[in-house]
Structure 1
Amino acid sequence: MKKYIALLRGINVSGQKKIKMAELKETLASAGLQNVQTYIQSGNVIFESEESSEEAANRIEGAIYKAYNFDVPTLVFEQNYLQNVIDQNPFLSKVDDPKKLYAIFLYDDLTQEGLDRLASAELGGDEYAIVDGVVYTCYHNGMGKAKMDINFIEKKLMVRATSRNWRTVNLLSQH
């Protein structure tokens, strides 16, 4: 049995696609996932399954659509992958406050056109680095004042993505 993390995109944000975590946990357990846990309201699920990550993502998306009648793009990866994400963050030694750090996980492949669009964008003093398909961001003035938010990243890179703050990434890696 493999331990997985699922990142659900766009639930419980600005009153859209509302899902109570207790209901989500029950929905996914009923769909056949084992030892389902949720972490905070933004769509983080820890579970076990014999399936591949792609099969588990499809199972989760199908169960959510059946229960709530809306699509929720879902990324699933083995839990140990998050340790790689943590180890590869190029900004860890450059900031004193981890609240300035985020990881953006991509649902789609990067294109050179998207990379060029992001490289030429004005970032308002913030920084990013892309390592193994994860966009690491450093918001020097805090996320609340950032120009380079998730919508900006998605538009420039021409991808769908989901973002997690650094605290959440670390906590999910430890569950």
Structure 2
Amino acid sequence: MKYALLFRGVNVGGKTRFPMADLRTALEGAGFSDVSTYLQSGNAVVAAPGRANAGKVAQRARAAIAEHLPWTPEFVVRTGAELAAVVAANPWPEAVAEPKLLNVAYASAAPDPKADLDPAAWAPDEWSLGDRCVYLRYVATSPGRSRLADVVCREAFRSSPGAVVTVRNWNTVVALAELTAG
């Protein structure tokens, strides 16, 4: 089965440098096969042997990476089926025409359905809770200029302190689903 490892904050600024070649080497050394990376921002795809599950994949990857870095990167693990389900559940199919303005915040925990979030506060930008993710649609602002992801994700995952949350634009969401398919 194939898994995507979605790293948070890798290769952003000087303190979190992790060359993708080193990441591939670490993951191959941990016994994963078909290891590849996507872009330079911390997206890896691996095939895990036998009866692996997301927890075991994360544990094995974390141990291997710890041998190569002086800092501990945070990441979220998703199966190909989970990534395909995120694509299929997109609440705004028309928004794929502008993939940089449609983002998914993947999380290590489920969002709190009772989170105190006011959709009108962000209009016309939008958000929607998903399965361990939040869909973010930017209409009036760009992802880089908006606090939508920060505020909505902080509130959506407040009941899960320490949850890892990492955001990807729609092009990356779809590419990772394709790389982990089958």
Structure-2-length-normalised TM-score = 0.84
1:49-128 alignment, distance < 5 Å: 49-50=48-49, 51-93=52-94, 96-111=97-112, 115-116=115-116, 118-119=117-118, 122-123=121-122, 125-128=124-127
Report how many residues are paired. Answer: 171
Corresponding residue number in structure 2 for 1:15:
14
Partner deviation per Cα, 1:90-122 (whole Å, 9 max, x = no partner): 112256422210011111233356x11x33783
Deviation at 1:170, TM superposition (A): 0.7
Runs of 4 or more consecutive aligned structure 1 residues displaced over 4 Å after TM superposition: none
8 A contact 2:95–2:137 mirrored in 1: no
Higher relative contact order (Cα pairs below 8 Å, separated by 6+ residues): 2
Corresponding residue number in structure 2 for 1:129:
128
Corresponding residue number in structure 1 for 2:164:
160
Corresponding residue number in structure 2 for 1:35:
34
Deviation at 1:136, TM superposition (A): 0.4
Corresponding residue number in structure 1 for 2:138:
139
Distance in 2 (alpha carbons) for counterparts of 1:121 and 1:106:
24
8 A contact 1:10–1:16 mirrored in 2: no
Change (3 A) 1:90 1:112: closer
Distance in 2 (alpha carbons) for counterparts of 1:19 and 1:135:
26
Unaligned runs of 5+ in 2: none
Change (3 A) 1:11 1:173: same
Aligned alpha-carbon RMSD (Å): 2.0
Segment of structure 1 superposing worse, 59-68 or 120-129: 120-129
Residue type at the aligned position of 1:144: G
8 A contact 1:11–1:19 mirrored in 2: yes
Deviation at 1:9, TM superposition (A): 1.5
8 A contact 2:109–2:132 mirrored in 1: no
The percentage of aligned residue pairs carrying the same residue is 30
